[in-house]
């Protein structure tokens, strides 16, 4: 007999399958596997009820992707499904009461979703940007001309919002690396990610040459007030390290984190200083490394190298040196993963033991007040110990 004894598996009732399908795909199955397998509807799960910018005969129009026309968002059942996960483009999505409430708006003309953020606008040209852990609202009216366009807001994360002339047939925005996510919405607005130092706008009018204009987003006045949002409902900074790291990670163009799940917090060191490091544990052994400044996430990166192999007791996957200014001076942040049998890790340099935290098979350590940012000159060593005190591995940090 197996141990523990577990309840037998059940056949999935059709109504339960259909409810889950609606949540995942956003609309009922049309009754046949052919329909599902045929891939009708250009979007993927969660793209339903979103609107996408579709180029039709040179004209960019906003069209809802919900072919049923219900206009309803799939009901999110947890914060995990709240929709900060990244579409690779800009999507006009249905405005939710939760977003309106966070923004302090009673109604919105549109909501546009980008990687890690949503932007709302109302009829009074008030704008709002929601990220996983912040809420930003516009504080004053601005108007920066870009050809026939007018930029009316720049969000803290770099989203530009503005108005287009009635005769505009198409708009493409570009950085030096390629097209930027953008959308034209109802009521004559454009919303686009910007790129510094130059964002290129290509405006198409009917039967006219394409007009090309450039804008340095930094020239758009900063007119936003940002407040923290606590997804956990707890305002304690120490309790929000993971959420703030995920927030920054989702906003990063490098996309070290593309969703709030299934990431968990690993080892954290120096969170209450200007030189902290948090290790995030993701799916299938992946990790990300979040630099902290007084509990605030400043930058999130994926593994920045792979010193060692999975068979090693520890692997250094992040090694960051920088000048953090007084009082910590030059610092070296070191983070990585641990083998399961590592009970304790020691980080030492010429001045003695340094803070290193171990949690959930990850570690994070910090060396401060160094004479330089040259890692090889620091002379730090890591030593991994088993529970009985046996040294499992030791070596230089480089």
Partner 1 sequence: MRGATTRRQGAARLVETDAELWGRGDRAAFAELFDRHAEAVWNHAYRLTASWSLAEDLTSATFLAAWRRRSEVALVRDSALPWLYTVAGNLARTEFRRLGRLRRALARVPEPDVVPDHADRVASSVDDSDELRRVLAVVRTMPPAEREAVELCLLGELSAAEAAQVLGVAEVTVRSRISRARARLRATLDEEVS
Residues that bind partner 1 (CB under 8 A): 3-7, 9-13, 15-17, 19-21, 23-25, 33, 36-39, 41, 43-46, 77-81, 85-86, 232, 258-264, 283-286, 310, 340, 360-361
Give the shortest CB-14-to-partner 1 separation in angstroms: 11
DSSP state at residue 196: S
**Cis amide prior to 270 (ω within 30 degrees):** no
Q: What is the Cα–Cα distance from 59 to 63, expressed in whole angstroms?
A: 12
393 φ, ψ to 5°? -165, 145
363 φ, ψ to 5°? -140, 155
Q: Which is nearer to partner 1, 22 or 126 (CB)?
A: 22
Give the shortest CB-33-to-partner 1 separation in angstroms: 7
Give the shortest CB-104-to-partner 1 separation in angstroms: 24
Q: Which is nearer to partner 1, 151 or 251 (CB)?
A: 251
Give the shortest CB-71-to-partner 1 separation in angstroms: 20
Pairing of strands 344-349, 287-293: unpaired
Q: Which is nearer to partner 1, 261 or 294 (CB)?
A: 261
116 φ, ψ to 5°? 75, 5
Q: Which is nearer to partner 1, 11 or 350 (CB)?
A: 11
Residue 266 neighbours by CB distance under 10 Å? 27
Give the shortest CB-157-to-partner 1 separation in angstroms: 19
> Which residues have C-beta within 8 Å of that of residue 178, sequence separation ≥ 6?
none
Give the shortest CB-271-to-partner 1 separation in angstroms: 19
Q: Which is nearer to partner 1, 33 or 350 (CB)?
A: 33
Q: Which is nearer to partner 1, 13 or 389 (CB)?
A: 13
Pairing of strands 182-185, 224-228: unpaired
DSSP state at residue 219: G
Give the shortest CB-282-to-partner 1 separation in angstroms: 9
CB 205 within 8 A of CB 212: no
CB 183 within 8 A of CB 90: yes
**Cis amide prior to 203 (ω within 30 degrees):** no
Q: Which is nearer to partner 1, 281 or 296 (CB)?
A: 281
CB 241 within 8 A of CB 279: no
Pairing of strands 91-93, 117-121: unpaired
Q: What is the Cα–Cα distance from 149 to 374, expressed in whole angstroms?
A: 48
CB 226 within 8 A of CB 156: yes
Give the shortest CB-256-to-partner 1 separation in angstroms: 10
Q: What is the Cα–Cα distance from 360 to 127, expressed in whole angstroms?
A: 41
Q: Which is nearer to partner 1, 86 or 170 (CB)?
A: 86
Q: Which is nearer to partner 1, 284 or 350 (CB)?
A: 284
Give the shortest CB-9-to-partner 1 separation in angstroms: 4
């Amino acid at each position: 007999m197996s141990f523990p004894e577990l309840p037998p598996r059940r056949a999935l009732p059709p109504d339960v399958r259909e409810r889950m399908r609606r949540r995942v795909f956003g609309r009922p199955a049309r009754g046949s596997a052919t329909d599902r397998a045929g891939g009708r509807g250009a979007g993927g799960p969660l793209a339903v009820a979103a609107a996408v910018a579709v180029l039709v005969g040179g004209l960019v129009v906003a069209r809802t992707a919900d072919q049923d026309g219900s206009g309803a968002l799939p009901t999110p059942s947890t914060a995990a499904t709240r929709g900060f996960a990244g579409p690779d483009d800009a999507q006009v999505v249905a405005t939710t009461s939760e977003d309106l409430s966070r923004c302090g708006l009673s109604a919105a003309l549109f909501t546009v979703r980008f990687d890690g953020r949503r932007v709302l606008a109302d009829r009074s040209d008030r704008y709002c940007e929601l990220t996983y852990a912040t809420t930003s609202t516009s504080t004053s009216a601005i108007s920066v001309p870009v050809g026939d366009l007018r930029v009316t807001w720049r969000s803290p994360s770099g989203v530009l919002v503005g108005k287009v002339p009635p005769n505009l047939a198409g708009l493409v925005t570009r950085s030096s690396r390629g097209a930027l996510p953008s959308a034209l919405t109802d009521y004559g607005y454009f919303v686009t990610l910007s790129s510094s130092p130059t964002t290129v706008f290509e405006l198409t009018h009917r039967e006219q040459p394409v007009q090309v204009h450039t804008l340095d987003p930094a020239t758009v006045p900063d007119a936003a007030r940002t407040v923290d949002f606590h997804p956990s409902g707890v305002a304690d900074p120490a309790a929000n390290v993971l959420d703030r790291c995920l927030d920054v990670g989702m906003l990063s163009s490098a996309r070290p984190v593309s969703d709030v799940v299934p990431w968990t917090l690993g080892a954290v060191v120096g969170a209450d200083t200007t030189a902290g490091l948090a290790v995030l544990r993701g799916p299938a052994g992946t990790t990300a490394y979040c630099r902290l400044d007084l509990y605030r996430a400043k930058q999130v990166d994926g593994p920045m190298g792979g010193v060692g192999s999975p068979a090693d007791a520890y692997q250094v996957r992040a090694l960051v040196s920088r000048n953090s200014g007084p009082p910590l001076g030059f610092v070296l942040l070191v983070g990585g993963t641990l083998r399961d049998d590592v009970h304790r890790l020691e980080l030492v340099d010429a001045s003695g033991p340094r803070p290193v935290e171990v949690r959930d098979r990850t570690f994070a350590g910090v060396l401060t007040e160094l004479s330089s940012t040259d890692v090889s000159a620091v002379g730090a060593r890591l030593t991994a110990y088993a529970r009985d005190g046996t040294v499992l591995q030791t070596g230089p940090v480089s």
